[in-house]
Amino acid sequence: YLQNLPYFGAVVGRVANQIGKGTFKLDGKEYHLAINYGPNSLHGGLKGFDKVLWTPQVLSNGVQFSRISLDGEEGYPGELKVCVTYTLDGGELVVNYRAQASQTTPVSLTNHAYFNLAGQ
């Protein structure tokens, strides 16, 4: 799983999708990110959120995972506290994301959920 990049079921971030040439400007400063997809940074870089250990907490109707992304991780500015909660509400799966940054930083979290509805 860690070697093939399917991202199946993974939390993707700090930024989902690609950042061209792994650079962006924020408040007049240019940041350089880890390059891991051609000339670009994809899904958070070489060690995105899909490749780190999260702290789990069992809830009455689900589970919560949290972690702290340190300032400078994969080139991103600011510390980022992230929490992802998976709960069952009746027959509905609810995925909730929360993130709190210590300074202005790009954040775009998602999940690469994969469901085989054909039953194979």
Which tens digit of pLDDT belongs to each residue from 26-38? Answer: 999 999 999 999 9
Per DSSP (E only), the strands in the chain are: 11-12, 18-19, 23-26, 29-32, 41-42, 55-59, 62-69, 80-89, 92-101, 110-111
Q: Under a CB-based contact definition with an 8 Å cutoff, are residues 66 and 55 in contact? A: yes
pLDDT of residue 15: 95
Domain boundaries, the chain: 10-112
State yes or no: pLDDT of 59 exceeds 70: yes
Q: Under a CB-based contact definition with an 8 Å cutoff, are residues 116 and 88 in contact? A: no
* Nearest of 114, 49, 59 to residue 85 by alpha carbon: 59
pLDDT of residue 9: 80
**Residue 1, SS3?**
coil
State yes or no: pLDDT of 2 exceeds 70: no
